[in-house]
Structure 1
Amino acid sequence: MTVDSRRAARKDDHVRLAEQQHSVPAPRTDFDDLHVVHHALEAVSTDEVDLTAAVGNWRWPVPFYVNGMTGGTEKTAQINRELAITAAETGMPIASGSISVALDEPDTAAGFTVIRQENPHGFVMANLGAGRSAQDAVRAVELLGADALQLHLNAVQETVMPEGSRDFSTWARSVEQIVAACPVPVIVKEVGFGLSRRTLSTLAGLGVQLADVSGRGGTDFLSIENDRRTGSMLDYSSLSGFGQSAPACLLDAPGDAPELLASGGVRHPYDVVKALACGARAVGVAGVFLKTVLAGGAEALVPLVRAWQEQTTAVLGLLGVRTPAELTQVDLLVGGQLAEFCHLRGIDLTRLAHRSDRYRS
């Protein structure tokens, strides 16, 4: 596969810089400000636990999935191949990286279609930017034979990206048109800076039924794009920490929000459990899985995913819940900076800390 475009080559830059970010110990995140109350006599047998996640009209075998990462070059095609093999062996849903480059330069399409080739019967999500047309959204879905479309909002990334767009004025209309035209459900997602309460209400008004809040704390595309600004006088490092975390977005979500997924800073199964307890139906993982694939391919990632499945099952049993959806009944304590955010946004943390009282016999 010959790739000449700068846009396609940028995909390899993203992987290289993301790998550098994930080569150091995971930093503290807002997930660390979340704690569940332990009730020692309320655990259930893990034999009673069913990890099946109800997302939209689908039932996913596990409540976490491979989030959109990459594609478009020889290196990223190999990454997608290993991720897809893992998804096929474990039943885990998988999303591609942005397919925009393949729509414009068909020679790069193999870096994405390998996902469906290696995972012919699994749940696959195509990925496209909100600035693209409804026709492009249909083409993206057709390219992968996708079951859903991830439509990403990445204004922060575009702002910092050396070759990025600065005009986001048509995005809301674009989202509405794509949702109306797409032959499969559309999942609108951020790329690591969060979906606010107002944004989630706006998305619902545009016809969006599913949204991934994708908060800060994971792969930092602001830093990645800023690091690509070699020789430039423009430095956006002052924006470090911009946006909201996934837990903050979930706890602040309005009642009219689309059905929620979550990603951004998910480091281990307990973070998955916490996100589910905050109201996510399922949880996207990127950085940890990418790091594992780069180190050992599917041979390393499959056992890691199986370990995540086993540990998630064990934690649900420990907490006395039998399904991921029941985690919204556990008592959740919020501290630190996340508690300050909740206080300023008017979220009742006392009610959150006592919510299991409503379900006790």
Structure 2
Amino acid sequence: MADQHSGKHQVDGPEPRRERKDDHLRLAAEQWTGPGAGGARRNEFDDLEFVHDALGGVSTSDVNLAARVGEWTWATPFYINGMTGGTDRSTEINTQLAIAARETGLTMACGSMSIALEDEEAARGFAVLRRENPDGFLLANIGAGRSADDAARVVDLISADALQLHVNAVQETVMPEGSRDFSTWLSGVAEIVRRSEVPVVVKEVGFGLSRRALARLAEVGVEIADVGGRGGTDFLAIENARRSARDYAFLTGFGQSAAACLLDAGVAGAATGVESARPATILASGGVRNPLDVAKALALGASAVGVAGVFLDAILEGGEDALSDVIKRWQAQLRELCGLLGAADIGALRDADVLVRGRLREHCELRGVDAAALARRSG
């Protein structure tokens, strides 16, 4: 989460890159702590409402939370999304994240590993992930501007089970030292997918993957994508805070939310009237604050849900024990929500009636999504 820089154009040395990493971590943490921060901030998940069926519940003991993601089965349908790495402080946080993932059986993606390709000391900061969690499911992380050889190197560094390949054109645009050439990203993604020895998950960093973007990814062989929508950690704000003039504030709110992207892509079901090519498996992240947000994303068709900011806040408040407690509570509460909603497994959440309101409803109307069909799909 705290640094998603692709690094293709970088010419700065290890120290400036480490300083940027710590800047990203500090500024991201500030968005998720204190009054009005991410844990309480409104986003478009609040425009979604389950229709309550008072007699439709099932026994919580019968609920199966297992998630099918590509060729894998994850025990829990939410996971620790990429955050940080490459500095002393981020190594400490990655160690705590890895321990919590090990203790709770959660899948974990690491932060951008580009810095590890040029800095041996930074590479050791990522290696702790596999050392602390030898049997867990780990995703390496690199930017779309890097080569297939670079992608293979970061996978090898942590013996990753999969590669999270992030796209971050908005962040790069605002980043003082960012790239301004995105013309080769899609062909680069295609090459990495073609040559990778592990499955590739293409992820936006917080501005959303549109219907058109998902179709393009499918065309080049991407089978798993994380829509990574607006509403969580705001990399536009982070990069603008690093600019002396703070002159990109006019872009605030750019992009689409995870909920909007899921609806736009038609993964909520054929009844919504959307027919478009897309990767076979769609993940969702961006602004997930609690188990109810997880359930809403699953109900809109996500196979699993990535969480970063709330988990980072727990680490900063109380270390790996605090995060483990949060994860275990979320697992129990999500199971209870499924029981309440009559879903014996997470796939059954796609049959739950969901009301779409407010700005999100307007998005559906403009994009040709039949939101009203979601309100009566249980019938």
Task: Output the TM-score relative to the length of structure 2.
Answer: 0.92
Alignment correspondent of 1:326: 348
Percent identity between matched residues is: 59
Distance 1:272 1:322 in 2: 16
Cα shift at 1:78:
0.4
- The corresponding residue for 1:241 is 253
Q: Secondary structure at the match of 2:140?
A: strand
Distance 1:257 1:264 in 2: 19
Matches of 2:201 and 2:134, distance apart in 1? 21
Contact 2:116–2:123 under 8 Å retained in 1: yes
Is the partner of 1:10 in helix, strand or coil? helix
Note the alpha carbon deviations across 1:75-133, whole angstroms, 9 max, x for none.
Answer: 00000000000000001000010000001212211111111111100000000000000
The aligned amino acid for 1:238 is: F
Tell me if 1:256 matches 2:277. yes
CA distance in 1, matches of 2:165, 2:211: 18
Aligned-partner Cα distance in 2 for 1:198–1:325? 25
1:310 is matched with: 332
After the TM superposition, which residues 29-44 of structure 1 pair with which residues of structure 2 at under 5 Å, given as runs? 29-44=43-58
In 1, Cα distance between equivalents of 2:92 and 2:335: 31
Q: Report the number of matched residues.
A: 353
Please name the residue that 2:88 is paired with: 74
AA aligned opposite 2:299: A
Q: Which residue is equivalent to 1:217?
A: 231
**Contact kept in structure 1, 2:14 and 2:118, CA below 8 Å:** no
For residues 368 and 335 of structure 2, the distance between their equivalents in structure 1, rounded to whole angstroms, comes to: 33
Specify the code of the residue in structure 2 equivalent to 1:284.
G
Instruction: State the partner residue of 1:204.
Output: 218
Amino acid of the structure 2 residue aligned with 1:329 = D
5+ unaligned residues in a row in structure 2: which ranges? 1-12, 267-275
Equivalence for 1:56: 70
- The CA RMSD over aligned residues, in Å, is 1.0
Kept in 1, the 8 Å contact 2:32–2:310? The answer is yes
- Which residue of the other structure, out of 87, 108, 115, is the alignment partner of 1:101? 115
Instruction: Tell me whether 1:178 sits opposite 2:192 in the alignment.
Output: yes
Superposition deviation, residue 157 in structure 1: 0.3
By how many angstroms is 1:4 displaced? 4.3
SS in structure 2 at match of 1:320: coil
Following the alignment from structure 2 to structure 1, what is the Cα–Cα distance between the partners of residues 348 and 21? 39
Q: Secondary structure at the match of 2:136?
A: coil
Q: 1:256-275 maps to which residues of 2 (within 5 A)?
A: 256-258=277-279, 259-275=281-297
Question: Where does residue 21 of structure 2 map in the other structure?
Answer: 11
Q: Deviations over 1:233-255 (max 9, x none)?
A: x6100000000000000011054
- 1:226 equivalenced with 2:240 (yes/no): yes
SS of residue paired to 1:40: coil
| Residues 342-353 of structure 1 mapped to structure 2, 5 A cutoff | 342-353=364-375
Tell me which stretches of 4 or more aligned residues in structure 1 moved more than 3 Å.
Answer: none
Tell me, in whole angstroms, the C-alpha distance in 2 between the residues paired with 1:288 and 1:156: 23
Residue 279 (structure 1) aligned to one of 278, 283, 301: 301
Deviation (angstroms), 1:7: 1.2
SS at match of 2:94: helix
- Structure 1: how far apart are the matches of 2:340 and 2:53? 9
Equivalent AA in structure 2 for residue 205 of structure 1: E
**Map of 2:145 onto structure 1:** 131
For the residue of structure 1 that corresponds to 2:243, the secondary structure is coil
**How much has 1:5 moved relative to structure 2?**
2.1
Residue identity opposite 2:313 in structure 1: K
Matched, 1:354 2:364: no
Amino acid at match of 2:210: S
The TM-score, its normalising length taken from structure 1, stands at: 0.96
1:291 to 303, 313, 337: 313
- Cα offsets for 1:183-224 (capped at 9, x unmatched): 100000000000000000000001000000000000000000
Where does residue 156 of structure 1 map in the other structure? Answer: 170
Return the alpha-carbon distance in structure 2 between the equivalents of residues 217 and 185 of structure 1. Answer: 27
Deviation, 1:299, is 1.1
> For residues 243 and 74 of structure 2, what CA distance do their matches in structure 1 show?
40
- Structure 2: which amino acid aligns with 1:235? D
What is the rounded CA distance, in whole Å, between the counterparts of 2:164 and 2:198 in structure 1?
10
Listed one character per residue, the Cα deviations across residues 273-293 of structure 1 (whole Å, up to 9, x for unaligned) are: 000001100000000000110
> What CA distance in whole angstroms lies between the structure 2 residues aligned with 1:11 and 1:294?
16
CA deviations on 1:288-327 (whole Å, 9 max, x unpaired) are 0001101111011111100000000000000000111211
